[in-house]
Amino acid sequence: MEDAKKLEEFQAKIDADIKIEPKDWMPEKYRQNLVRQISQHAHSEIIGMQPEGNWLTRAPSLRSKKILMAKIQDEAGHGLYLYCAAETLGVSREQFLKWLHEGAAKYSSVFNYPTLTWADIGAIGWLVDGAAIVNQVSLQGTSYGPYSRAMVKICKEESFHQRQGYEIIADLSKGTEEQKQMAQDALNRWWWPSIMMFGPHDGDSAHSNQSLKWKIKRESNDELRQRYVDKTIHQGEILGLTFPDENLKLNEQTGHYDISPIDWDEFWNVVKGNGPGNRIRLAHHIKAHDDGAWVREAAIAYRNKMNAKSKIA
């Protein structure tokens, strides 16, 4: 049983927007919730390197190759910040990876969709990163100090990613007929997965209420999703692209865009592991980890040897 007085003090700190730091007392459920959310976020950054890496060796210009390489490197860096933030909650990186490999930890389902053309690299930046930013900007105000600070750093780089993706789509939209089609096709395939990134509707979200009360999350899934839709429609329309939703229209009363019902069957099916890329993404990560085992062992053995030497000296 949690000490009721401690819990009350904890909630008072949260209500006063005082950040919770690693050594502060926190309810076990708060800790577990953060471990789940931050590691899921870290895994998403790392698994997200794969669909983009899929086109790195085929990037069609030196400039686009350089930018994509730098972007993927940023994702690795974000993963690193986030694993470090999650480690402050008393779980090791090795353990996080074990949970990922066993299927006990999730990552964003959107990365289970394949990148089929160069335009998909644009769509990931514009739509997937665009959706991620909406969530991450909001998370800068999260109550756990290390997570909040990681988000501040990450947001600075993500806005560059979103621009990079939009630039690719914009260039394609102004290009040859085939390039325009490529851009439209990418929008058709990535629009709904990007919308689903915000997770289930507020009423159906398992962790939402408690997370909002503890300010782990600052805004609800549906609020964030609406913000993403509202800002993205205009960006697509000025490029002459059409969103794959016949019911999409500006609601004069609310001032927001209405969209068709979301296909939650598809969402849950992909979450449960049946997306086009779930097996491939995980298998790739496991193989890289296994292939690298001898390198990590060598690095540890060498460090131990050096430590032993310096003790003798």
Interacting residue ranges for another protein, rule: CB under 8 A: 46, 49-50, 53, 56-58, 60-66, 69-70, 72-73, 76-77, 79-80, 83, 118, 171, 175-176, 178-179, 284-285, 287-288, 291-299, 301-302, 305
**Any idea what the Cα angle at residue 234 is, between residues 233 and 235, rounded to 5°?**
90
Identity of the residue, 128 or 216, whose beta carbon is nearer to another protein in the bound complex: 128
Q: State how far the Cα of 125 lies from the Cα of 131, in Å rounded to an integer.
A: 9
Q: State how far the Cα of 83 lies from the Cα of 96, in Å rounded to an integer.
A: 8
Minimum distance of another protein from residue 175's CB (angstroms)? 6
Minimum distance of another protein from residue 296's CB (angstroms)? 6
Q: State how far the Cα of 71 lies from the Cα of 52, in Å rounded to an integer.
A: 9
Minimum distance of another protein from residue 134's CB (angstroms)? 25
Q: State how far the Cα of 26 lies from the Cα of 118, in Å rounded to an integer.
A: 46
Minimum distance of another protein from residue 48's CB (angstroms)? 9
Identity of the residue, 62 or 313, whose beta carbon is nearer to another protein in the bound complex: 62
- 184: nearest Cα among 236, 106, 226, 232: 236
Identity of the residue, 138 or 164, whose beta carbon is nearer to another protein in the bound complex: 164
Minimum distance of another protein from residue 122's CB (angstroms)? 11
Q: How far apart are the first and last CA of the chain?
A: 51
Identity of the residue, 21 or 290, whose beta carbon is nearer to another protein in the bound complex: 290
Exposure string for 18-50, b = 16+ CB within 10 A, e = fewer: ebbeeeeebbeebbebbbbbbbbbbbbbbbbbb
Identity of the residue, 203 or 292, whose beta carbon is nearer to another protein in the bound complex: 292
Minimum distance of another protein from residue 87's CB (angstroms)? 12
Instruction: Write down the number of H helices and E strands in the chain.
Output: 14, 2
The structure tokens listed for 22 are 């690693």
Identity of the residue, 56 or 212, whose beta carbon is nearer to another protein in the bound complex: 56
Minimum distance of another protein from residue 152's CB (angstroms)? 20
- 151: nearest Cα among 164, 131, 132: 132
Identity of the residue, 124 or 195, whose beta carbon is nearer to another protein in the bound complex: 124
Identity of the residue, 70 or 152, whose beta carbon is nearer to another protein in the bound complex: 70
Contact criterion met (CB below 8 Å) for 132 and 160 = no
Rg (CA), the chain: 21
Minimum distance of another protein from residue 294's CB (angstroms)? 5
Q: State how far the Cα of 16 lies from the Cα of 240, in Å rounded to an integer.
A: 46
Hey, which residues does 250 pair with through a beta bridge? 257
Q: Which residue do the tokens 């502060």 mark?
A: 24
